[in-house]
Chain A
Amino acid sequence: AQSVTQLGSHVSVSEGALVLLRCNYSSSVPPYLFWYVQYPNQGLQLLLKYTSAATLVKGINGFEAEFKKSETSFHLTKPSAHMSDAAEYFCAVSDPSSGGGADGLTFGKGTHLIIQP
């Protein structure tokens, strides 16, 4: 069984400061990992994904994440926060080995990112 833990239900940073959202996963097989963002009253938008290629993954809107197998982590970072980054962020894991992967994504509880002016 897979699981995802996002440390910190709320993270507050100042505009222009580094954004760091933490995600740790548990999986019995090499996973695929994703970060999604959700703005109020909207669906989920894919920020980036790790699918066993480069461990440092660059996504949209200046975000990137690094897969660290030894730490079972996939933390999301952005060098300089913008007010428009305020949203809910979800880390998710899937098992690509499950015979065609019909098990869906397993999501973390989400982290609400607050940007202080």
Chain B
Amino acid sequence: KAGVTQTPRYLIKTRGQQVTLSCSPISGHRSVSWYQQTPGQGLQFLFEYFSETQRNKGNFPGRFSGRQFSNSRSEMNVSTLELGDSALYLCASTAGSPGLGTQYFGPGTRLLVL
């Protein structure tokens, strides 16, 4: 069974631009969570989607948004990019609810904002 895939793997943007990252969960998994990883703040929860509904969101500004499609694939969008948005963005999928099941992570998308 294929793992979690994320595209693109690397991305360079400039301040003020917007970016969309994509995540395809493990087949059959309906829950997708997103995390931001930076050297200073570590791993921080962004949001979680289950059956196309955002069920919770971490402490991030409204510039960070996401959605989930009927096939469970998910996208996250960051608008008006800031230098501090440079990070590794990780997606994780779970067979059921992430609080109850195990989250399996993709390789991440490394975003560099110049």
Interface string of B101-113 (1 = CB under 8 A from A): 0111111101000
Q: Which of B50, B58, B99, B106 lies in contact with A96, CB distance below 8 A?
A: B99
Give the number of chain B interface residues (Cβ < 8 Å): 27
Do A43 and B99 have beta carbons less than 8 Å apart?
no
Give the number of chain A interface residues (Cβ < 8 Å): 28
Alpha-carbon gap, A44 to B33, bound state (A) = 13
Interface residues of A in 55-113 (CB under 8 A from B): 90, 92, 94-98, 100-110
Main secondary structure on B side of the interface with A: strand
Residue of chain A at shortest CB distance from B41: A109
Do B102 and A96 have beta carbons less than 8 Å apart?
no
Residue of chain B at shortest CB distance from A106: B45
Residue of chain B at shortest CB distance from A31: B99
Hey, which chain B residues are within 8 Å of A42, CB to CB? 107-108
Interface string of B13-39 (1 = CB under 8 A from A): 000000000000000000001010000
Binding site for A on B (CB under 8 A): 4, 6, 33, 35, 42-45, 48, 50, 55-56, 58, 90, 92, 97-100, 102-108, 110
